[in-house]
A and B are shown apart, each in its own frame.
Chain A
Amino acid sequence: MSEVKFSKEHEWITVDGEIATIGITKHATEMLGDIVFAELPEKGSSVEKDGTAGVVESTKAASDVYTPISGEVVDTNQSIVDDPSKINTDPEGSAWFFKLKIKDKSEMDSLMNRTEYEKFAKESAS
C-alpha cells in the first residue's frame, strides 16, 4: 500500500496496485459538522479527475465529493450510506467512499503528502 495522498478538495487517496481507495479527510469532517447523508458514485461508472463523485450532507449544508484522480468505480462503501455518522467517527479509515481502477497513475503526482496537506488545511481554515 502506498503513502496516503491528499487533494485540495480535502479528499484522501491510497493506492494498492491498480486500485485506489478514496475518502474525505478528518479536517473536512470537522468543517462539515455532523454528516447525515452520503451519496456515492455508481459501481461501473467512470469518473474524471476533479469531477464530482458523490455528495455529503451535514446538518448545515450539502457538499460535493470530488475524485482526485480518474478511473472506473469498482466498489463503494454502502456502510456509510446506511450510517453516515461513521464518516465523522472514522473518516480516514473504515469510512472510505469508493474504490477506483486507476486510469493514469501520473495524476497522483500533483497531490499533496500529509505534511503538505496539513499545512494547506491549516492555512485554508484561517
Chain B
Amino acid sequence: MEVKKTSLFNLHQKNGAKFVEFAGYQMPIQYKEGIIEEHKYTRAHSGIFDVSHMGQLFITGSDDLTKELEKIFPTDLTNLSINKSKYSFLMNDNAGIHDDLIITKVQNGFMIILNAACKENDFKIIEKKLDKKFDLKIREDLSLIALQGPEAKYVLEKIIPQSNNLKFMHGNSFSFEDINIYITRSGYTGEDGFEISIDNSKVESFVEILLKNGSKLIGLGARDTLRLEAGLCLYGHDLNETISPIEANLKWAISKNRINSNFPGSNIIKKQIDEGVEKIRVGIKPETKAIAREKTKIFDQNDKLIGNVTSGTFGPSVQGSIAMGYVTNNYSSSNTKVYLEVRGKKIPANVCDLPFYKKNYVKGETNVRS
C-alpha cells in the first residue's frame, strides 16, 4: 500500500522535517531543532502539530441518532449540548478498547476524532452497528491541526479574533478567508490549546500565518513526550483491545448516568467498578536516568513480576525518566517502590500520581482528566 501524505507534507519538508511512517502516513517525527527543543517551545510558547492523519468522522441523521450512538459509546450524548466535546471510547463486548476518541456534538449530528491507526476499523465497527439511514463519513477533504501551548490563544486570536472565547472542550465554526473552519479548545499535550479542522486547500496558508505569528511546527516525537508528561494514553501502547477503561484508570470518561445502561462491554464495566480490577494503569518514576521503554518488566522487592511498562521516555520539562504501565492493583498506590528491568539490571522506581507535569486548562468544565 502506498504511503499517504498529508496536505502539509511540502511545508514539513521545507521546514526540515525528518519523516517516519506512522499509520500509513509519512509524518514528521521532528524538525531541525530536535524533540527536546520542540517540546520546550510548546510548553513555553506554542507549537503546531499536523494531526491530519487522524480520522474526522461525521455521523449525521435524524433525532434518534443520539440514542443509537449511546448504544455504541459509554457517554451521555443526550445531555451533550451543541459544540461540546467529550472524551470517549469505542469498546468491544469485553470492554476492551478499540479506540479512544473525542465526540463533539455538531449541527445535525456528531463529529468524532479517531486515531489514525484505528480509523478504518472504527468506521467498519460503527457502520455495522448503526442503522443504514444514518450518514457516516470520514472526511478526507479536511486537515486537522493542533495548536498547543500557553501562547496558542494569542497566536490564534490574531487570525480568528473570537477563538479565545471558546471554553475548554467546547468548539465552534469560524470563518477564515472565504471558508468555514471548525475549532475546538482541546488537545493532547497538557497545555491550553486548540484543534482546527480546515479544508485541505487552505491548511498550508493557515499554518504559514501561525508560523509568522511566532508558533513553530512540532513533530510526533515531541507530541509523544508532551502527552506522556501530561499522563495521557497513547492508543496501541497504553490502551488496546484487551484493556478496559477502568483498568486504564479512565473511569471518569464513562458518564455516571450511563453506567447502568447498555453499551458494548457495559456488564464488565459495571462489574469492574463494583468489584475493582486486577491490574491498573499507573505513573512510574524511575530513580535513575535510565529509560524504561514499552514492555519493560516491573517487579516488586521480592522479584515477583507485577506488571509491565506501556510507555516510557525522557520528560524534557520534568527533566527525567518517566513511564506509565500496568501493575497488579495492590501495588498501585503512590510511592510504592517497584523495580524495572532495564538491560538486565533492576532499576528502582516509584509508582506516582499522574500527570508528571501539571498545567491548568482554561476552565469551562471540569478538567478532562479530573
Contact = CB atoms under 8 A, between A and B. Distances in A.
Interface stretch (B2-10, B276-284, B289-297): B289-297
Given A36-B314, A37-B321, A55-B343, A62 B293 contact: yes
Contacts of B310: none
A59 B314 contact: yes
A33 B291 contact: no
Interface residues on B, range: 10 to 19
B30 interface: yes
A60 interface: yes
A9 interface: no
A84 interface: yes
Contacts of A39: 290, 343
Given A37-B314, A37-B321, A57-B314, A62 B291 contact: yes
Nearest to B321: A37
Given A59-B313, A59-B314, A33 B34 contact: yes
B30 A33 contact: yes
B289 A36 contact: yes
B289 A37 contact: yes
B264 interface: no
Contacts of A60: 29, 35, 221
B272 to A, nearest CB: 35
A34 to B, nearest CB: 4
A118 B93 CA distance: 57
A69 to B, nearest CB: 23
Given A34-B35, A37-B290, A37-B291, A59 B343 contact: no
Given A33-B34, A57-B291, A60-B221, 17 more contacts: A33-B221, A34-B34, A36-B36, A36-B321, A37-B291, A37-B314, A37-B321, A39-B290, A39-B343, A55-B343, A57-B290, A59-B221, A59-B225, A59-B313, A59-B316, A61-B293, A62-B343
6 contacts: A33-B221, A34-B36, A39-B290, A59-B221, A59-B313, A62-B293
Q: Which 3 A-B pairs have the closest CB atoms?
A: A36-B314, A59-B35, A34-B36
Interface of A: 33-34, 36-37, 39, 55, 57, 59-62, 81, 84-85, 88
